[in-house]
Amino acid sequence: MNAPLSDREKVLMGMGDARLRKEDARFIQGKGNYVDDIKLPGMVHMDIVRASVAHARIKRINKEAALKIPGVIAVLTADDLKPLKLHWMPTLAGDVQAVLADEKVHFQMQEVAVVIAEDRYSAADGVEAVEVEYEELEAVVDPFEALKPGAPVLREDLAGKTEGAHGKRYHHNHIFTWEAGDKAATDAVFAGAAVTVSQDMHYPRVHPCPLETCGAVASFDPIRGELTTYLTSQAPHIVRTVVSMLSGIPESKVRIVSPDIGGGFGNKVPIYPGYVCAIVASIVLGRPVKWVEDRIENLSSTGFARDYHMTGELAATADGKILALRTNVIADHGAFDACADPSKFPAGMFHICTGSYDIANAYCKVDGVYTNKAPGGVAYRCSFRVTEAVYLVERMVDVLAQKLGMDKAEIRAKNFIKREQFPYHSALGFDYDSGDYQTALDKVLDAVDYKGLRAEQAAKRADPNCPTLMGIGLVTFTEVVGAGPSKICDILGVGMFDSCEIRVHPTGSALARMGTISQGQGHQTTYAQIIATELGISSEIIQVEEGDTSNAPYGLGTYGSRSTPVAGAAIAMAARKIHAKAKKIAAHLMEVSEADLEWEIDRFKVRGDDAKFKTMTQIAWAAYNSPPPGLEPGLEAVHYYDPPNFTFPFGIYLCVVDIDKGTGETKIRRFYALDDCGTRINPMIIEGQIHGGLTEGFAVAMGQLLSFDKQGNIQGNSLMDYFLPTAVETPHWETDHTVTPSPHHPIGAKGVAESPHVGSIPTFTSAMVDAFAHLGVTHFNMPHTAYRVWQQLKKSGMNT
C-alpha cells in the first residue's frame, strides 16, 4: 500500500490529467443514445405545418384532406390548443410566443399546425395536405424600418401595452431599452476628449446549427398521470418547472430526460413550440409522441444568435489612453422576445463591453426590436451577448489605433487593466476576479515573431506585384461567464445556482449526479477528475450522471460556460463535505484526534507517520459498517452552489491572413490562440474545446449568415448555403495557455469552451480589415466570404 506518491497520484487520474474522454467509447461505436434513438411502444409521430410567408393573417386552415390520409391520426391548430390555454406560451425573456400561429403568422416557417400520424411518412404527407389560406401583410425584416412611425404593427396581441417585461416600450415594435453606466459623465468626457472615433457595425444573424437538431419524445401515462419527456435540452430542470406550470401536472409527476445531446451551443436552451405540441399531443392521445425537426426547420425556426446593429465610440487622449466608451445597439429579436438571458438582463452581459481595458467612463444602451423573423437571440457558444460585446470593443480599439497611427499591440498594452488592479470594478458594473493580460500578450507576440510579421507586411504592401494582401489580427479579450450569483441572475425566477450530489459506495467507488447536462463538453470525464483529486478515488470508478430530472438534483443546466464555474464548484463543495466526514471516520478508526490527521492524495495519515493511514476505500467501508458512535452511517453529500461572482477567463489571439487580390479567397496562414481559463482540469479536453470553438468562430467570421429578402423569405436555410466548416476548410490551430486561477472559485477554474468562439471572431475581422488598413479601411461586416471580400477589393481599387 505504500506505492510512491507519483504512482498513487497517477492512478487517480485527477485534475490536470489528460485523461481520455469517457464518453467517446460509446460515441465512436455508434452506441450513443440521442432523442431520435428513443422508441417507445405505441409511439406515434408528429410533423409541423409551417408558414410559407413571413407576415400574414390566417384566413382558413383546412384539415380535411390531411385527415383522409391513411395513418394520420390528428391535426392540431391554435384553435385546438385554445381550450387548454396552450396556444401561447411564456418565453424565457418575459414575452409570450405563439405555440401555433394564432390568427396571424409572424415569421416564415412559424409553426401553424401539427399533424400526428402512425409513422413519420404519413405525418409528412399529412403536412403537405393541410391547406392554409393567408392574407399577406407587409413584412418588416429591418429593425430600423420596424421602428419608423408608420411601420406595420407586428404584435397585435400587445396592442396598447406601453410597458414590457423590461420597462417602457416607446413604439409598437419596440421591446425594451436597457442601459448601463453613467451617461452624463461619459458624454462629458467625449465632449472634452482630444480624440474620438465612431464606427457602425452589424453583427449578422447566425445560427448555432448543432449537428443534432431539436426534438422530443413525450409520453403521458393517463393511468398514473405521469409525464415523461425525452428532450434535446441544455436545461432539463427548468423545462420540468415550466412544463409543470403550463400543464398543471405536479412537478413530481413530470420527468424530463436529456439523453445524449449532439451539440447545443445555446440552440437547445429555449423551449420550442414543437416540444409543447408533442407533449400536448401525448396527453390528448395517451400515446408516446415523437417529434424531431429537420435541418431546414432547425435553421429557420429555432433560436438564432446575434443580429446586433452596433455603434461604438471611444474617446481617448492623443497618445492613445482610452478615456471613455459609448455604445448604442439596435437588437433585432425577431417576432417574439425569446432571448435566453438571465431575467434581469435583456441584453445579457453585453456590459462586459469595456473588455480587458481600464476605461474609467462608459455608457451602453441596447434597444430590442420586433421584426418578422424567427425569435431567438441565444448565446451561441458564449455567455449571454458576450460575443457581441467583445466584438464591439476589440473592433473599436483597432479603429482607434488606426486613427492614431498606433500599433494594435501597443494600444492594447497601454490600456490593459494591470495585474495589480484586480479585483477590478468596471465602469459598467462588473467585478473582474483575476487577470494578467500583459504576460499573456508578450508570450503570444514572442511566439509568432510579431515584429517580423509586421516587417513582412510592410514589404508586401510596398510591392505592387504582390498577388496577396496580408493582414494581421490581434484580439485581447475578457469574457464574463459562470452565471451567476442568484441575487442578480435568475431564469423565470429560479436562481442560477447549480448542484451536485455525490454518493461514495461501501467499496469505495462513487456516483455523482449533476444539475447540468453535457452536449459534448465531456462532463463525465472532467467532473470525475475533480472528485478524484478531492476525495482520492480513481476517476475510472466515478460515474457521473446528469440530464434526468427524476434522479439528478435541481440545476440550471449547461450554457454560458457555467458548468465548471458553477457546477464544478458544487462538485468540489459536495466532495469537501464528504472529505470532512471521512476525516471524522478516519480519526475514529485510527483512534487519534482529527487534528493529528493530514490528507495525502488518497488517504488520511497520522501526521509524520507514513505507516499509519486509512485510504478513502477503507473509510468508505467503515462509513457504512462501523461509523463512529453518534455519526449517521453512509458517505454522501449534496451541495447547491450559488456563486459569489462570475468568472472572467481571457485570451490573446493572433491571426495572419493572405487575401488573393484577384479572387478574394482568404487563406488563414496562422492562428495562435492563448487562453487563460484559470485552473485546468483536463488539458486534452481543453484543447479539444478550443479547437471546436475556434472552428465555430471561423465559421461565423468567414461564412455563416441567415439572410432574408425584403418579403421575409429566409435565404439559405440548408447546409447548401449555411456554412458549416469541415476538416477541409478548417485552418490549423496553434494553442497556448497561461494560468491565472479565479480567487473565488473553490478550485480556481473559470470555464473555457466558449472563449475560443468569443475571441476568435473579432480576430478574423481584425485580420481581414488589417489587410486593407493601409487603404484607409477601418471596418467591414462579416461574413468575410470570397465574394464579399472581392467586392471590398473592387471598392478599394485592388481589383479592377
Partner 1 sequence: MEVTIEKQYPVAAAMPAAWAVLSDMHALATCMPGAQITEDVDATHFMGSVRVKVGPAVAAFAGTIEILALDAASHTLKMLGKGADKGGSSASMELTAQLLPGEGGHCVLAGHAAVIVNGKFAQFGGRMMNSVSDMILAQFAEVFSQKAQALQASQAAPVDHSAAPHVAADGATAAPATAPAVSAPVVATEFNALGLVWALIKNFFAGLFGKKSGT
C-beta of 170 vs 787, nearer to partner 1: 787
> Smallest gap, in angstroms, from Cβ of residue 58 to partner 1?
13
C-beta of 103 vs 128, nearer to partner 1: 128
Cell match 420550442: residue? 272
C-beta of 300 vs 564, nearer to partner 1: 300
Dihedral pair phi/psi, residue 487, rounded to 5°: -70, -25
- Burial grade of 165 (CB within 10 A; 0-12, 13-18, 19 or more): middle
Task: Quote the CA–CA distance of 180 and 166 in Å, as a whole number.
Answer: 14
Q: Which of 711, 735, 791, 796 binds partner 1 (CB under 8 A)?
A: 711
Q: Which of 563, 695, 717, 766 binds partner 1 (CB under 8 A)?
A: 717
Residues near 586 by Cβ (< 8 Å), separated by ≥ 6? 597, 604, 614, 619
Residue 338's identity, in one-letter code, is: A
Contact 391, 761 (CB under 8 A): yes
Task: Quote the CA–CA distance of 241 and 106 in Å, as a whole number.
Answer: 27
C-beta of 27 vs 787, nearer to partner 1: 787
Q: Is 503 a catalytic residue?
A: no
The reply on whether position 718 binds partner 1 by CB under 8 A is: yes
> Smallest gap, in angstroms, from Cβ of residue 133 to partner 1?
9
The window from 313-321, 412-420, 709-717, 746-754 that contacts partner 1 (CB under 8 A) reads 709-717
Please give the angle made by the CA atoms of 190, 195 and 201, to the nearest 5 degrees.
80
Q: Which of 221, 715, 781, 787 binds partner 1 (CB under 8 A)?
A: 715
> Smallest gap, in angstroms, from Cβ of residue 106 to partner 1?
15
The reply on whether position 52 binds partner 1 by CB under 8 A is: yes
Residues near 385 by Cβ (< 8 Å), separated by ≥ 6? 308, 341, 347, 348, 349, 350, 379
- Per annotation, catalytic residue among 97, 234, 618, 704: 234
Q: Which of 50, 174, 205, 579 binds partner 1 (CB under 8 A)?
A: 50
Task: Quote the CA–CA distance of 281 and 497 in Å, as a whole number.
Answer: 33
Task: Go through 79-93 and write b for each residue having 16 or more CB atoms within 10 A of its CB, e for each that does not.
Answer: ebbeeeebbbbbbbb
The window from 335-343, 365-373, 652-660, 713-721 that contacts partner 1 (CB under 8 A) reads 713-721
Could you tell me the CA-to-CA distances from 129 to 53, 113, 360, 763 in Å, in that order? 17, 12, 62, 49
> Smallest gap, in angstroms, from Cβ of residue 143 to partner 1?
20
Task: Quote the CA–CA distance of 696 and 511 in Å, as a whole number.
Answer: 33
Q: How far is CA 11 from the centre of its chain?
A: 34
Q: Which of 44, 53, 340, 616 binds partner 1 (CB under 8 A)?
A: 53
Could you say which residues in the range 76-115 bind partner 1, by CB under 8 A?
108
> Smallest gap, in angstroms, from Cβ of residue 280 to partner 1?
24
Could you tell me the CA-to-CA distances from 174 to 76, 138, 373, 374 in Å, in that order? 31, 17, 14, 16
Q: Is 689 a catalytic residue?
A: no
> Smallest gap, in angstroms, from Cβ of residue 145 to partner 1?
15
Q: Is 234 a catalytic residue?
A: yes
The reply on whether position 709 binds partner 1 by CB under 8 A is: yes
Cis amide leading into 783 (omega within 30): yes
Contact 204, 784 (CB under 8 A): no
C-beta of 53 vs 472, nearer to partner 1: 53
Neighbours of 781 (CB within 10 A): 13
C-beta of 139 vs 589, nearer to partner 1: 139
Task: Provide the phi-psi class of 611: left if phi over 0, else alpha when psi is between -120 and 50, else beta.
Answer: alpha
The window from 535-543, 715-723, 753-761, 773-781 that contacts partner 1 (CB under 8 A) reads 715-723
Could you say which residues in the range 217-256 bind partner 1, by CB under 8 A?
none
Q: Which of 10, 451, 710, 795 binds partner 1 (CB under 8 A)?
A: 710
The reply on whether position 716 binds partner 1 by CB under 8 A is: yes
Q: Is 295 a catalytic residue?
A: no
C-beta of 37 vs 128, nearer to partner 1: 128
Closest CA to 92 of 449, 469, 560: 560
- Per annotation, catalytic residue among 214, 277, 364, 382: 382
Three-state SS for 211-235 is: CCCCEEEEEEECCCCEEEEEECCCC
Q: Which of 177, 198, 543, 713 binds partner 1 (CB under 8 A)?
A: 713
Could you say which residues in the range 291-330 bind partner 1, by CB under 8 A?
296, 300
- Per annotation, catalytic residue among 205, 287, 381, 603: 381
Please provide the distance, in angstroms rounded to a whole number, between the alpha carbons at the two ends of the chain.
78
C-beta of 56 vs 175, nearer to partner 1: 56
> Smallest gap, in angstroms, from Cβ of residue 696 to partner 1?
24
Neighbours of 741 (CB within 10 A): 18
Contact 575, 280 (CB under 8 A): no
Could you say which residues in the range 117-136 bind partner 1, by CB under 8 A?
128, 131-132, 136
Q: Count residues contacting partner 1 (CB under 8 A)? A: 20
C-beta of 128 vs 156, nearer to partner 1: 128
Active site residues: 234, 381-382, 754
Binding residues for partner 1 (CB under 8 A): 50, 52-54, 108, 128, 131-132, 136, 296, 300, 709-711, 713-718
